[in-house]
A and B are shown apart, each in its own frame.
Chain A
């Protein structure tokens, strides 16, 4: 039964399992929560493609697979194109009458980390969305190349320490701002684009279902807290994600048809970003006196972005 009909977490925990519990993801990794929730957001059949990354290397190590559904991995960059090819084949075979079960409902989904979505696979995603294939692309955004040991990506926020943008005697970590992938995908004119988080699981389930039901290419950026590279206790994944959404470091919102912006979650008490940063080892150097200005800058940008999102929502443009 699809998750949108499930009323509480207990029911959720016993829901339909097409993503098997046996996988090699780190304890406390949010990827599996997000993937499982996506797969539970529909009762339809699924054809899923994954880019290379943590999810892929942890779920299909021969002779095992965690996927009780059709699944394909080609390379680092091309899950969007792989699933687009499968979707094209579905259309061709449906028209020609060569499908085994032509009435079986099916949804096409691609997963990528922020490395393969923001960086190496950016072109492939852009192309598949421009062509209008009927699929949903989910970015599992943990803000670094976690699978290869924590290098910077263009999703890494300013000030974070990564192994290729290190904090050191003369450096406060990454110098550049995070790329705004949600805006970029909305600018493609995709019918449904959103940023969601697994701590707000009911909102996430609704967003996933909306994307799956929308005809055409949909993009969702999901916050996937990375216990290993963000450096926090694996038991705190959801707590950390609460801090991410309630500091507005990760605002939860959707953009329909490229312009209609809706904020999906408004924290009752907006928490200063310092609390979110202080909970993670990757930001600990920012608390040195000489780096304090970076925290101020992050807070300033969060405030500006929140202001912008609210004005966009209000203006309906």
Chain B
């Protein structure tokens, strides 16, 4: 029996420590992992729990991230709770197995401490790795600070392991900005946290020898399509379970999460849509602009997959101009978040003006001042009734100003 840890009502944790505490409290059966900056402290912290008797499960330190996820898949198919953590290049190395994990419907929880993808090599935070995972069939949930990283990791187990979902879940947090910034965190006690997550329910497990199972079969054109279609359906329908789990978590803690987080959006004329720590920056900017009389608001998809298409549309359809911020190199297209948001808004009668900002690549700072400038630019679009700039711009990049794609509306 693992030792329990006495936690204070308020602890000072960074995002990595918060995530590792959630793994400990969920009493994970197997952690199979390989360290990589900036997620390394998650497995180091977990290693300390193992060494001091706070963990009953197995801690398998493998020789690469591909092996880390392979071990997770084998362990999950053997019918128990499984977790890991990674970032960036490590995430890229495990991509092959991410698709296998979701295709086999195995509820693994993985913290992805977001970091840029090389080349050039960079250890700082952007969302290149998060975006790389967006077609992998995992639920993707985004935390904006350490408290959320803790809360949502507990929720992630409950979501993925729900018998109506049975899918793996990625828990995202921003590299360094969240993972290495110590903040006040209100944890649950070990007993409360485990009670919330609940016992793991094995399903089609390899260790039930009365009922042999075959995992990872081959299907060609006769069955592959049906499998993928059903997997998509399961991921789409996970939204109801996510809502239920968030509601239950609110009942327990008073802390409320929604698949789309709206800030000052009731009467907003202009909005920023973003992911990660930038959401908090944009909220501060919106507060300041409200004092100047600009009706600014912020919308953030808490859930990147399944993408909250309806909820994004509902949150944004009454605005006039929106800037969608993508912290990932778009490489020959509009930013991914811009495309998703624009598609949702295309189904509305008013179709607000939507522009795309690429920003913060490789950890480039994104300031409240820059957020305010972007808000004000949206206000100018709203007042003019059309987009007065290129649709895609690069914010905070040195050298000549970069802009791509022109609107045909209104001018």
Contacts and interface: CB of A to CB of B under 8 A. Distances in A.
Q: Is the pairing of A and B real?
A: yes
Interface of A: 45, 47, 49, 56-57, 60-63, 65, 67-75, 77-78, 81-86, 88-93, 95-96, 98-101, 104, 106, 123-124, 126-127, 130-131
A51 to B, nearest CB: 11
Dominant secondary structure of chain A at its interface with chain B: mixed
A65 B57 contact: no
Given A73-B216, A85-B73, A63 B60 contact: no
A157 B217 CA distance: 32
B188 to A, nearest CB: 21
A75 B70 contact: yes
24 contacts: A60-B214, A69-B212, A72-B216, A73-B217, A74-B100, A75-B70, A78-B67, A84-B62, A84-B74, A85-B73, A85-B78, A86-B207, A88-B30, A88-B71, A88-B75, A89-B58, A89-B74, A92-B29, A92-B56, A96-B57, A98-B29, A100-B202, A127-B62, A131-B61
Interface residues of B, number: 45
Nearest to B206: A70
Given A88-B58, A93-B29, 8 more contacts: A61-B219, A69-B212, A70-B212, A78-B70, A84-B62, A84-B74, A123-B67, A124-B66
A123 B79 CA distance: 26
B223 A62 contact: yes
B64 interface: yes
A56 B34 CA distance: 27
Interface in B161-216: 200, 202, 206-210, 212-216
Contact of B29 (A47, A62, A96, A131): A96
A232 to B, nearest CB: 28
> Which 10 A-B pairs rank lowest in CB-CB distance, beginning with the nearest?
A85-B74, A127-B63, A82-B74, A89-B78, A73-B216, A85-B75, A78-B70, A70-B206, A85-B71, A81-B70
B52 interface: no
Contacts of B344: none
Contacts of B57: 92, 96
A81 B29 CA distance: 16
B276 interface: no
Given A86-B74, A88-B58, A92-B80, A71 B218 contact: no
A19 B80 CA distance: 26
Contact of A70 (B76, B202, B209): B209
Nearest to B58: A88
B58 to A, nearest CB: 4
Most chain A CB within 10 A, of B73, B96, B216, is at B216
B34 to A, nearest CB: 10
A92 B58 contact: yes
B21 interface: no
Nearest to B213: A70
Given A67-B214, A88-B60, A78 B75 contact: no
B378 interface: no
B223 A63 contact: yes
A90 B215 contact: no
B77 interface: yes
Given A61-B218, A73-B216, A81-B71, A100 B30 contact: no
A274 B348 CA distance: 78
A65 B212 CA distance: 11
Contact of B32 (A72, A88, A123): A88
Interface of B: 29-30, 32, 56-58, 60-64, 66-67, 70-80, 82, 96-97, 100, 200, 202, 206-210, 212-220, 223
Contacts, number: 161
A72 B60 CA distance: 19
Most interface-central of A49, A74, A130, A131 (chain B CB within 10 A): A74
Nearest to B28: A92
Contacts of A71: 206, 212-215
B207 A81 contact: no
Nearest to A93: B80
A127 B206 CA distance: 22
B74 A72 contact: yes
Nearest to A77: B66
Given A57-B218, A65-B217, A98 B70 contact: no
A126 B67 CA distance: 11
Contact of A47 (B207, B216, B218, B223): B207
A294 to B, nearest CB: 37
A131 B32 CA distance: 12
Contact of B66 (A78, A85, A96, A99): A78
A314 to B, nearest CB: 36
A81 B219 CA distance: 23
Contacts of B74: 49, 72, 74, 81-86, 89
Contacts of B64: 123, 127
Contacts of A77: 66
Contacts of A70: 206-207, 209, 212-213
Contacts of B200: 98
Q: Which of B57, B100, B210, B212 is packed against the most chain A CB atoms within 10 Å?
A: B212
Contacts of A100: 202, 207-208, 210
Given A85-B30, A104-B209, A93 B79 contact: yes
Contacts of A65: 214, 217
B47 to A, nearest CB: 15
Contacts of B80: 89, 92-93, 98
A62 B219 contact: yes
Contacts of A82: 70-71, 73-74, 77
A131 B30 contact: no
A126 B75 contact: no
Contacts of B206: 47, 70-72, 86
B56 A96 contact: yes
Contacts of B207: 47, 70, 86, 89-90, 93, 99-100, 106
A91 B58 contact: yes
Contacts of A49: 74
Contact of A78 (B58, B60, B97, B223): B97
Contacts of B100: 74-75
A123 B218 contact: no
Contacts of B208: 100-101
Contacts of B215: 71-73
Contacts of A72: 73-74, 77, 206, 214-216
A96 B200 CA distance: 12
